Structure 1
Amino acid sequence: MRWSTYWIVTLAVVVVGLAMGVTLPLVSLRLDHWGYDAFAIGVMAAMPAIGILLGARLAGRLAGRLGSERCMRMMLVMAAFSIGLLTVLPNYWVWLILRLLLGGSLTIIFILGESWINQLVVDRLRGRLVAVYGSAFAVSQLCGPLILGVLGTVSDAGFWLSITLLLLGVAVLWQVDGAPQINARSASGGGVMGFVRRMPAVAWAVMLFACFEAMTLTLLPVYLIREGFAQTLALLMVSSVVVGDAVLQLPIGWLADKVQRTTLFRCCGVVLLVSSLAIPLVLHSVFIWPALVLFGASAGGLYTLSLILVGQRFRDDALVRANAHIALLWGFGCLLGPFSTGAASRWLSSHALPWLMAGMAAVFLLLALRRGAFEAVVVRDQGV
């Protein structure tokens, strides 16, 4: 195993996470300051999902023609360029297009980066090393809102910091090579329904976590502010969600190498369901803090375990194709979450965000508890 490559690729993706952690809440809070309602902010939050769908279709073809390393560097530059235009063109409709470009470029980076990491690691260490990657990414997102709380949301300093970080990612990736060799045709995003039929619980878990992440960084700060919390405290509460996601992925990854991964998968779904239902009930009490931590940890655990289960089953082009399917499902989740939450928050209830997550967790448990739900991975799972 090439340890240096593992750490460098992980660092590059972590840099992207930090840039996202600053940019996504800054856009939503800027729109809130401009007077846009929850639905308009939800539309903006969902716009990168369309870019994700496009990026998932293009990732294999671009990487096959350009090479994975060069493609990742080009996408980092494109993401930095998109954020740069956000600072100089403060217009809602222009921002929609820029967020689409940003979503597409970041998607290609994640597909190639996660495929690279999952192919590098050996199966006996897969749970721990994928969890380290997930934790590092979550920590970077945690630092985003904290940095934004220091920089403030009135100036464009957060945008410029994100641009600098993305360009740093370009410099880091110049140091490595040896990414998976990709056949441009076989690594496309086609055939996603076959993936869903083979691994329905994994597919739904990916969509669920996409909803969670899109709403945590975009709509959760707005939800908390409108429930009476000061902006600084709201950003701190968002950070506590990401703390749970970051810190508890390591023990989850360790457990994934010691116990049956599919059982652990189901346990994360139960914790997510309970914590989501608890948030509106304990929102203005001290118990909100552990609820938010468990909320983040369980949602992050579902995604980490999804990557582990996919990585233990697929290799080479098939692995990149599976990650392209995951990205497509991620895009659907990013569309579903902000749109439905923004609409429900406007017309039904201010607590739509945690209730939607609880409903999605319940659907996951129905899929995960079905007989034969994990037949696609059960043979290798038994050998863990």
Structure 2
Amino acid sequence: MTSAIDDGITERQRLLSIAAVCSTSFGTGISFGIGFPLTSLTFELWNQPSWMIGLAGAAPPFAILLALPIAPRLIAKFGPVGSIVGGCLIGALGFLALALFQSPWAWIAIRVLMSAGFAMPWLVGETWINAVTREETRGRVIAIYAMVFFTGYAIGPVLLQALGLHGPLPFLAAAVVTGLSGFPVMIGRQLAPPVEHDTSLNVAAAFRWAPVAMVAAFVGGFSEITVLSLIPNVALAAGWSQYPALALLTVTTVGGIVLQYPVGWLSDRVSRFAMMIVSVLLFIALALALPLALTNPVAGYMTAFLMGGVILGFYALGLAIIGERVSASGLAAVNAAFIIMYQLGALVGPISAGMAMMDDAVHGFVTIVIVTMVITGIALLVFNRMERRWAAEALDHG
């Protein structure tokens, strides 16, 4: 398949287009970073049982999963800018509705609706960035896109801490940030790439277009959410106190942000598939080293820093592989399938890891990571071979 490069724009226009969608990604990252802790902490203040807090946390990914199969058709109908702005406005109205309806069940329903809206800027952003990026710089540009989003995501909880949980201020601030997230792409609307949608290509069929990227998405969601959710618990089980254990989470996030650009730079120079295999092996090595590393704070922080780079790298590498291998007409559908796989990994990861950690948190965590990475490595090799065979068959029939 041909790459989805748009060569009909100047280099200056390309950079401005990338800047516009990255700016929007930063704003939506802040919105995500506010929404999750705002919900869980508010439910704690309302003395809700843990199962209700878990249900509220699971509502956004389920909503995104439900919205994504129809999202490519909506994007093709309303255009990339209209879809992003519409999704951001739904999210902004959702934050205002949370302030008005102080009921757990109402909050869960509102979070479902606003998260379905957020699916649009997420999907359009990935499609947009791949459509306007040149192949020789794809890895670096996607790395910057990921860094910007996760920086916004990391800022969200800090902003919420400064605003507090009481009164209308956190909801108003979140609504303003979310609503304004669509503003950069409105300014750069003339630089938006045309988003095509092959009506014969549904999300299920899109898996055949880039199966290696789908594996990357699943393992990215699995490892990212599992590590970021449970690494403090692992540290506590290893004898760390509460604040150093939470600092370990911060170090993991910082490692993911800081190391993305080196990963992207390298992916523009060597095989991205080879980098996926190396990332799997590196993550296995880091998991094996973790029990020993946690006996020393410096070694523990260094291991967590590197883990952050690997787990966020899976997602960025998979996204770059889509841009490398998928044509423009299939980008939206394949990216929708990519996000679905990421969300499935994010749902499966914490549950399976939590079960594995019941008897021995540290070694249970290590075991589930290693088993998952071994399966991932095998799946990558199998699907890469299948992808090559499909490509050869396509050439023979062409």
Kindly state the Cα deviation for residue 28 of structure 1 after the two structures are TM-superposed: 2.9
Q: CA deviation at 1:316?
A: 1.8
Q: Please report the TM-score for the alignment, with normalisation by the length of structure 2.
A: 0.81
- Equivalent positions of 1:38-53 (< 5 A) are 40-53=52-65
CA RMSD, Structure 1 to Structure 2 (Å) = 3.3
Corresponding residue number in structure 2 for 1:382: none
- After superposition, the Cα gap between the structure-2 partners of 1:162 and 1:213, relative to the gap in structure 1 and judged at 3 Å, is farther
| Inter-partner Cα distance in structure 2 for 1:146 and 1:75 | 24
For 1:376 and 1:18, the matched residues in 2 are separated by 42
1:215-270 deviation digits (Å, cap 9, x = unpaired) = 56666667778988777655543222221111101011111111222111111122
Aligned equivalents of 1:336, 1:86: Cα separation in 2: 28
Quick check: 166-175 or 224-233, which moved more? 224-233
The answer to whether the 8 A contact 1:341-1:353 is kept is yes
CA distance in structure 2 between the aligned counterparts of 1:162 and 1:206, rounded to whole angstroms: 28
Change (3 A) 1:115 1:254: same
* Deviations, residues 276-327 of structure 1 (Å, cap 9, x unaligned): 4544554464122122212211011111110111101113221112111112
Check the 8 A contact 1:367/1:373 in 2, yes or no.
no
Gaps of 5+ in 1: 380-384
Asked whether the equivalents of residues 197 and 332 of structure 2 are also in contact (C-alpha less than 8 Å), the reply is no
C-alpha distance in structure 2 between counterparts of 1:117 and 1:263, whole Å: 23
Cα distance change on mapping 1:102 and 1:330 into 2, 3 Å: farther
* Structure 1 counterpart of 2:144: 132
Deviation at 1:83, TM superposition (A): 2.5
* Partners of 1:145 and 1:312 in 2: CA distance: 34
1:181 aligns with 2:194: yes
Match of 1:267 among 266, 269, 278: 278
Alignment equivalent of 1:246, drawn from 257, 271, 278: 257
Residue correspondences, number: 376
The percentage of counterpart residues that share the same residue type is: 25
Cα shift at 1:128: 1.2
Give ranges in structure 2 of 5+ residues lacking alignment. 1-10, 393-398
Q: Find the counterpart in structure 2 of residue 10 from structure 1.
A: 22
| Alpha-carbon distance in 2 for matches of 1:130, 1:17 | 15
Q: 1:29 to 1:227 in 2, by over 3 A?
A: farther
Whether the 8 Å contact between 2:29 and 2:153 is mirrored in structure 1 is yes
Alignment equivalent of 2:181, drawn from 135, 146, 169: 169
CA distance in 2, matches of 1:38, 1:358: 29
What's the CA shift for 1:82? 1.8
CA distance in 1, matches of 2:95, 2:366: 29
Equivalent position to 2:315, from 303, 314, 322: 303
Instruction: Look up the match of 2:66.
Output: 54
What is the CA-CA distance between 1:145 and the residue it aligns to? 3.4
CA separation of 1:92/1:274 partners in 2, compared to 1, >3 Å: closer, same or farther?
farther
Paired with 1:340 and 1:89, the residues of 2 have a C-alpha distance of 34
| 1:211 corresponding residue in structure 2 | 222
d(CA) in 2 for partners of 1:22, 1:217:
16
Shift in alpha-carbon separation, 1:294–1:8, aligned structure 2, 3 A: same
Say if 2:67 is the partner of 1:67: no
1:167 Cα deviation after fit? 1.5
More deviation in 92-101 or 164-173? 92-101
Out of 48, 59, 83, the residue aligned to residue 95 of structure 2 is 83
What is the SS of the residue equivalent to 1:180? coil
The structure having more radius of gyration, on CA atoms, is: 2
